[in-house]
Chain A
Amino acid sequence: MTVNELKEQLNLTPLVEDDYDREVTDCYIGDLLSWVMGRAPADSAWLTVMGNINSIAVATLADTACIILVENAALDDNARQKAEMHGVNILTTPENSYSLAVKLSKLI
């Protein structure tokens, strides 16, 4: 399933669009960035409330397919800029991580 298909199926709002044709093969949930950094699988959809510049660095490092900011968590301006610069896909949803992940698990 691609990021774009996830967007359609889960009603996600796009925030930063780099490559929504990218395949999503896994899902990871976490907000402690140093923890996520070494654990989020590559090509996963990463569900988090952390929308700061460090999150963008973590997504780059872990090579996740996209960041999904849950519960309408805010994306900082400088984080948005870095995401655009480094090609990090970001979407958002009002749902919490659990309810989104339950739906996501049926799609990937």
Chain B
Amino acid sequence: MRELSLNVMDVAQNSVRAEASLVRITVEESEKDDRMKIEIADNGCGMTEEQVQQVIDPFFTTRTTRKVGLGVPLFKLSAEQTGGSFNIQSEKNVGTTTTAIYVPSHMDMTPLGDIDSTVKILIQCNPQIDFVFTHSTDLGSFTLDTRELREVLGDVSLDTPDVLEWIGQYLEENTQNIYGGASL
């Protein structure tokens, strides 16, 4: 993928298909440590060890329309080609945690891309699911937790335009803060 945020979208959609009610997306960037971690953790139906091995194999897919599935394999490749690592921890009926670690200074590093839009689209398309998005840099961190939003919103759905606009602004302002205040 040209942007890692697209990989996040892909894996989070797998969480949705796994009937998760809560998806945690964490992005930890550290220039100081030359390290970036992307983690997507869900409480969906989980996988057996054998199934985990299958999803990192590009020649395995549950789709019947074609015989290869490259979502997870390409995510794995994106991390490993920077000298980082990739791991999937999963337990049946408990959930799945996918972790990709990058060395951002590497020449083959893929840009993170527009992660805020990814999170916003995920919320918009799956208003029944809760998302906890945490983004940190050396300068600080912030969290968007849709469970907290629901407490304030009551019966108002997360995919109403005003709510989505507020989410977009919240993400934009906080992202600017952790990137040192420069407008992006």
Residue of B nearest to A57 (CB): B58
Point out the residues of chain B lying under 8 angstroms from A57, CB to CB: 58-59, 68, 70, 73
Given A61-B66, A61-B68, decide whether A34 and B58 contact each other with a Cβ distance below 8 A: no
Given A54-B77, A57-B58, A82-B59, decide whether A34 and B68 contact each other with a Cβ distance below 8 A: no
Point out the residues of chain B lying under 8 angstroms from A34, CB to CB: 1-2, 70, 74
Asked whether, in the complex, the Cβ of A86 is within 8 Å of the Cβ of B70, the reply is no
Chain B: minimal CB distance from A84 (Å): 13
Asked whether, in the complex, the Cβ of A33 is within 8 Å of the Cβ of B59, the reply is no
Asked whether, in the complex, the Cβ of A32 is within 8 Å of the Cβ of B2, the reply is yes
Binary CB contact string for chain A from 73 to 85 against chain B (1 if under 8 A, 0 otherwise): 0000000001000
Tell me the count of chain A residues lying within 8 A, CB to CB, of chain B: 15
Asked whether, in the complex, the Cβ of A54 is within 8 Å of the Cβ of B73, the reply is yes
Asked whether, in the complex, the Cβ of B70 is within 8 Å of the Cβ of A60, the reply is no
B32 beta carbon closer than 8 Å to chain A: no
Residue of B nearest to A82 (CB): B59
Tell me the count of chain B residues lying within 8 A, CB to CB, of chain A: 12
Chain B: minimal CB distance from A70 (Å): 17
Given A32-B2, A57-B58, A82-B59, decide whether A37 and B73 contact each other with a Cβ distance below 8 A: no
A6 beta carbon closer than 8 Å to chain B: no
Main secondary structure of the interface of A (DSSP, over half): helix
- Residues of chain B in range 35-68 having any CB-CB distance to chain A below 8 Å: 57-59, 66-68
Which 3 A-B residue pairs are closest in the complex by CB-CB distance? A57-B58, A57-B68, A34-B1
Point out the residues of chain A lying under 8 angstroms from B77, CB to CB: 33, 52, 54
Asked whether, in the complex, the Cβ of B58 is within 8 Å of the Cβ of A53, the reply is yes
Point out the residues of chain A lying under 8 angstroms from B58, CB to CB: 53-54, 56-57
Asked whether, in the complex, the Cβ of A54 is within 8 Å of the Cβ of B2, the reply is no
Residue of B nearest to A59 (CB): B68
In addition to A33-B77, A54-B70, 18 A-B residue pairs with Cβ atoms within 8 Å of each other are A33-B70, A33-B74, A34-B1, A34-B70, A34-B74, A37-B70, A52-B77, A53-B57, A53-B58, A56-B58, A56-B59, A57-B58, A57-B68, A57-B70, A57-B73, A60-B68, A61-B70, A82-B59
Bound: A35/B1 CA distance, A:
7
Chain A: minimal CB distance from B56 (Å): 10
A29 beta carbon closer than 8 Å to chain B: no
Chain B: minimal CB distance from A25 (Å): 22
A58 beta carbon closer than 8 Å to chain B: yes
Bound: A54/B66 CA distance, A:
15
Q: B57, B58, B59, B77 — which one has the most chain A CB atoms within 10 A of its CB?
A: B58
- Residues of chain A in range 30-68 having any CB-CB distance to chain B below 8 Å: 32-35, 37, 52-54, 56-58, 60-61
